[in-house]
């Protein structure tokens, strides 16, 4: 697994393959911090599996939307392709409390509660309980990163990996990519949307340096699950993703940081499309496969 701080990408946008007819999507309820949350379970493959339909790997996913919006539909196509490309895993996509209802820390408490729910409800998620990963895009990637911190701090559940796709990690919006790319008229809307999102999610300014709000500010990044971090060349969130990867590496966390080709992140929803059409699906499959290789680290 690459543990360099960044890999400059020259990848071209990839056409999406046709989805197979083996995809199954099931609606269910999971347990949040203060009550049930809507979720979907994505699986693919033959119905008559030797393992009774259970997978060794469960990937829990949190959707984008800047903490103030988004829902299970936003990343639906991406997750269908993810499950179809990796029929040996089950993907659980969960909603969480949006900041329009309750601000920080409601969303992160929900996210960690969903991991605990999954660990206790294996039969409902077609999972053997062997390997648990957490994943998200944008604000959902923030929650995924925070779940890794919370699972370490709270003694579980053990995570085999964390996958952060174009994550929001810096409420201060201070990185060079955020400052430079927002000068382009077509990207200014992204910077404004990020500022508005954090204003809604973190109305108390003191929370903006809390590690469960801004993992990039955390001074305690040791003993975390192996990480795959995907940034994009023209995304204002690029530098904070790569800086976080560098900090994880410096703290001994096995980490791959991949910079994907430009995909013009002029609207929040385009991060879902970028994840589908660039190299994200292949990198995720490679990362998960690497967890099984000899010498791979055991869950933290």
**Per-residue pLDDT, 49:** 52
Average pLDDT over residues 14-22: 77
Q: What is the mean pLDDT of the chain?
A: 87
Query: 182-241, pLDDT tens digit by residue?
Result: 566 656 677 788 889 999 999 999 999 999 999 999 999 999 999 999 998 878 899 999
**Per-residue pLDDT, 6:** 47
133 token code pair: 């990963």
Q: Indicate the SS3 state at residue 254.
A: coil
Residue 272: Cβ-neighbour burial (10 angstroms; 0-12, 13-18, 19+)? buried
Cis preceding linkage at 105, omega within 30 = yes
Which superfamily does 24-290 belong to?
A: Alpha/Beta hydrolase fold, catalytic domain (3.40.50.1820)
Taking only Cα atoms into account, the Rg of the chain, rounded to an integer number of angstroms, comes to 18
Average pLDDT over residues 285-299: 73
Query: 169-178, pLDDT tens digit by residue?
Result: 988 877 777 7
Q: CA–CA separation, 13 vs 182, rounded Å?
A: 23
Structure-model confidence comparison of residues 281 and 3, the more confident one: 281
What residue segments make up the domains of the chain, in order of their start? 24-290
Cα angle, residue 94 at apex, residues 90 and 98 outer, rounded to 5°: 160
Which residue bears the tokens 């991991």?
115
Q: CA–CA separation, 116 vs 134, rounded Å?
A: 12
Polymer length in residues for the chain: 300
Going by DSSP bridges, is the β-strand pair 89-94/36-43 parallel, antiparallel, or unpaired? Answer: antiparallel
The CA distances from residue 178 to 37, 172, 239, in Å, are: 33, 10, 8
Q: CA–CA separation, 222 vs 132, rounded Å?
A: 19
- From the list 44, 45, 102, 42, the residue with the least C-alpha distance to 72 is 42
Query: 113-147, pLDDT tens digit by residue?
Result: 999 999 999 999 999 999 999 999 999 999 999 99
Residues 9 and 24 sit within 8 Å (Cβ to Cβ)? no
DSSP 127-147: EEEEEEEEEEETHHHHHHHHH
- The sign of the torsion formed by the CA atoms of 162, 123, 79, 182 equals negative
216 token code pair: 């990039």
Q: CA–CA separation, 130 vs 252, rounded Å?
A: 24
φ, ψ for residue 294, nearest 5 deg: -55, 135
């Amino acid at each position: 697994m690459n543990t360099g701080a960044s890999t400059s990408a020259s990848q071209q946008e990839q056409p999406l393959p046709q989805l197979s007819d083996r995809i199954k999507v099931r609606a269910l309820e999971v347990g949040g911090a203060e009550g049930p949350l809507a979720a979907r379970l994505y699986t693919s493959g033959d119905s008559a599996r030797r393992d009774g339909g259970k997978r060794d790997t469960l990937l829990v996913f949190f959707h984008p939307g800047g903490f103030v919006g988004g829902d299970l539909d936003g990343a639906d196509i991406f997750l269908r392709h993810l499950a179809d490309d990796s029929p040996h895993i089950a993907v659980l996509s969960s909603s969480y409390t949006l900041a329009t209802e309750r601000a920080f820390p409601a969303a992160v408490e929900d996210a960690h509660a969903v991991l605990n729910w999954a660990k206790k409800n294996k039969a409902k998620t077609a999972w053997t309980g062997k390997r648990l990963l957490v994943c998200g895009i944008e604000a959902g990637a923030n929650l995924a990163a925070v779940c890794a911190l919370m699972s370490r701090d709270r003694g579980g559940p053990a995570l085999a990996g964390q996958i952060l796709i174009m994550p929001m990690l810096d409420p201060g919006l201070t990185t060079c990519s955020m400052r430079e790319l927002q000068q382009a008229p077509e990207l200014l809307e992204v910077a404004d949307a990020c500022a508005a999102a954090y204003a809604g999610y973190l109305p108390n300014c003191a929370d903006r340096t809390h590690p469960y709000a801004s993992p990039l500010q955390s001074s305690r990044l040791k003993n975390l699950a192996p990480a795959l971090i995907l940034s994009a060349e023209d995304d204002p969130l690029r530098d904070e993703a790569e800086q976080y990867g560098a900090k994880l590496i410096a703290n001994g966390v096995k980490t791959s940081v991949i910079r994907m080709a430009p995909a013009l992140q002029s609207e929040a929803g385009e991060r879902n499309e970028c994840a589908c059409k660039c190299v994200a699906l292949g990198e995720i499959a490679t990362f998960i496969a690497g967890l099984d290789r000899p010498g791979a680290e055991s869950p933290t």
